[in-house]
Chains A and B, each alone.
Chain A
Amino acid sequence: MSKKIITNVWSRRDVLKASAATTAITGAPLFFSRHAYGADFLNNPGDSGVVTLGFNVPQSGAYADEGADELRAYKLAVKHLNGEGDGGMMNTMQPSELKGNGILGKKVEYVTGDTQTKSDAARASAKRMIEKDGVVMVTGGSSSGVAVAVQGLCQDAGIIFMAGLTHSNDTTGKDKKANGFRHFFNAYMSGAALGPVLEKNYGNDRRAYHLTADYTWGWTQEESIIASTEAIGWTTVEKVKTPVGAGDFSQYITPVLNSGADTLILNHYGKDMINSLTQAIQFGLKDKQVNGKNFEIVVPLYSRLMAQGAGENVKGIFGSTNWHWSLSDAGSQAFVKSFGQEYGFPPSQAAHTCYVQTLLYADACERAGTFEPCEVVSALEGHKFDGLGNGPTEYRAGDHQCFKDVLVVKGKENPSSQFDLLEVVEVTPRAQVEYPVDHPMFAGGDLGTCNNGA
């Protein structure tokens, strides 16, 4: 009769079974509660009591004033997120998980960089913020060239990019990235909003002459405005590309006089717009009569800072803008009050979009319960919100573009104060400026998949 020997020594099979069981038991919570903990990711603040955001704005160069206003807005947003000040639009944002105790209980700190409105400088400062300062999100910029460059860098690095002022269709079109989000409106939307207003005011038999800044933003704006004006029956006489920063545009303006055109469309922004508009007025275009009609000038993308630079020349000229401080909704009023009390003057549209982007990022982190980029992307995609100055808004999942109402504005004839330069003539509803993700003007890009840098 054999005798069974019982020992306490584990067999190889026992060890394998135990290992599998341990893995299953310890791994299961991570799978089921990944929203709470998440996998590791680049610049995870971990147990630290602070989280750092990167504000990458033009602090020198032609857009330094706009960059300074963006930075003011970011500082105000940080203040509000940390529970200081009056809370600004945190009080009006709907829905909101923001509590005024930082983000996910961590105090918000920030570092700044100077984009110089140059793609290479902007990428270098964003890289420094990511690698040296350990930021979880990069935001800012006043140019589409910069936005596209920094967005690409953030995608490759595995960091969220919340774009500042960028109006080119390409930012959420052919150059869109999974890690990048744009709150600002785009050139297509400007065209769609302006078209009906131009038809109403100038009729449907016009001959338009385009002067266009020769880079990504100018090209997409020209394409968008031509599409919308030709849709209302206008003819495009000529499309002329002008070098960025040309200064003197006289050699591009004089051919307009003999072209038979009765409308000049200036696809210029910033200093170029100020100079080209000023010089077009000097050449008497606004006093001209062509084809039995008064000659008109249109500036599709406006900002208050530009209007200040162009002075009296903006009077009566139509354009579009993402936001204006004179809006009467609760969100806009709260922001203007907060900003005005802090700095003594109203915010620009660049300041508004940057402030909103910071709150939206913070809220997404709160809803995701983590700073993990891919979780934040999921929280932002398709997110619908209100109370941030543009009415009901949605971050479309397909291209990470915000869809909301667009403002058509006109240079005021009789400004009452130094800030009162533009008047809102129409709030174009979101439905009118919406387009499918695969619209030809936005085709050719791929959102790709989110990268968390791990």
Chain B
Amino acid sequence: MDALILQLLNGLDKGGAYALIALGLTLVFGTLGVVNFAHGAIFMIGAFCAVTLRKILTISTQVRDESITLFEAYKEVPILEAKYPVVGSIIVDYSVPLAIIAAIPVMLALGLLMERGLIRHFYKRPHADQILVTFGLAIICQEIIRHYFGANPIPQAAPAIVAGSANIGAFLGLGDNVVYPWWRLIYLLFSFIVIAGVFAFLQFTTFGMVVRAGMQDREMVGLLGIDIQRRFTIVFGLASVVAGLAGVMYTPILPPDYHMGMDFLVLSFVVVVVGGMGSLGGAVLAGFLLGILQSFASMNEIKSIVPGIDQIIIYLVAVVVLLVRPRGLMGRKGVMED
């Protein structure tokens, strides 16, 4: 029972990340019709917003370490903490949550720049061209990050108050073995809030209504005198913000490195396909479903029956779903079928 609860939480947590990335991918595909392979890179750049903010907050004076004489070694003394010991250390401690505020304008600007500067030139081109150009863009983003930050993962700490684990077992009366890191629980809550926010935005605002109408029939909305293209550009920016925030919040879980976006991208595409191309609900559902299945497949009891199942489960499910429901779990007729 303990193991099942823990794997369920793992699955939800993993699924939250998949769902957030897949949500952005689906938004872009559903509105602009572009298969955006650079979306993983946007997730990674979001994570590096957190790294950059922490670097800025911990800009240090270097005090020579006299005990090391073979080369110049320094002890880093952060200026902010040195000047304002209490407030400074609190700000540094909360650098990841603070990075959310910093990342929103950065990711929005990056998304708009990408769409206006490059991707809009490929709207009328075949999907193969779109995939090639966005994949190339992803590699360029990766290499720029690698150039400035190196290839090694860069650890990012969660605020000290949530650095430990929550004793869920004691809360549920299951004993002390059901513990789960606070930050992962926060990430799960965060993913629910962002997903709900995106749906609410599309469902309950005039902007969202127009976007949904545009996703159904772009030409008709245009004939009504609405500049749907401008709104779709903003949707691209919104998708970038969602992916970027997912990246920021993931940094205490997975020390970010330049390749982390690519690791998630492939799985997120599988999520989009399983959920149904262009279906926002499908993307979220498939994200959580595949995350949970992946976690359960990693249990030793399951692996002892089917060795290696943890590494193929997602693809196996994708094959089965596509055989039974060729348009995915919640796919719409006519999407990518022309």
Interface residues of A (CB under 8 A from B): 60-65, 238, 240, 243, 245, 247-248, 250-252, 254-255, 257-258, 271, 274-275, 278-279, 282-284, 287, 305, 308-313, 325, 333, 336-337, 339-341, 344-346, 416-420
Contacts and interface: CB of A to CB of B under 8 A. Distances in A.
Contact of A251 (B76, B152, B298): B298
Contact of A337 (B71, B75, B76, B254): B71
Contacts of A63: 151
B300 A240 contact: yes
Contact of A257 (B6, B13, B303): B6
A417 B165 contact: no
Given A243-B311, A247-B260, A271 B65 contact: no
Nearest to B76: A418
A245 B263 contact: yes
A282 B165 contact: yes
- In the A-B complex, the 9 residue pairs with the smallest Cβ-Cβ separation, listed nearest first, are A340-B71, A311-B155, A64-B151, A251-B298, A284-B165, A254-B6, A417-B73, A282-B181, A251-B295
Contacts of B71: 336-337, 339-341, 344-346
B75 A416 contact: yes
22 contacts: A62-B257, A62-B259, A64-B146, A243-B311, A245-B263, A251-B294, A254-B7, A255-B3, A257-B177, A274-B153, A274-B255, A283-B165, A309-B152, A337-B70, A340-B70, A341-B71, A344-B72, A416-B67, A416-B68, A416-B75, A417-B67, A419-B73
Interface string B59-101: 0000001011011111110000000000000000000000000
B198 interface: no
Contacts of A310: 155, 255
A311 B311 CA distance: 29
B68 A420 contact: yes
Interface of B: 2-3, 6-7, 10-11, 13-14, 65, 67-68, 70-76, 146, 150-155, 157, 163-165, 177-181, 183-184, 252-255, 257, 259-260, 263-264, 294-295, 298-300, 303, 310-311
A417 B74 contact: yes
Contacts, number: 141
Given A238-B300, A240-B300, A287-B164, 11 more contacts: A64-B146, A251-B14, A251-B310, A254-B7, A271-B153, A275-B255, A282-B252, A312-B155, A416-B65, A416-B75, A420-B65
Contacts of B11: 251
A419 B13 CA distance: 34
Contacts of A340: 70-72
Contacts of A336: 70-71
Nearest to B2: A258
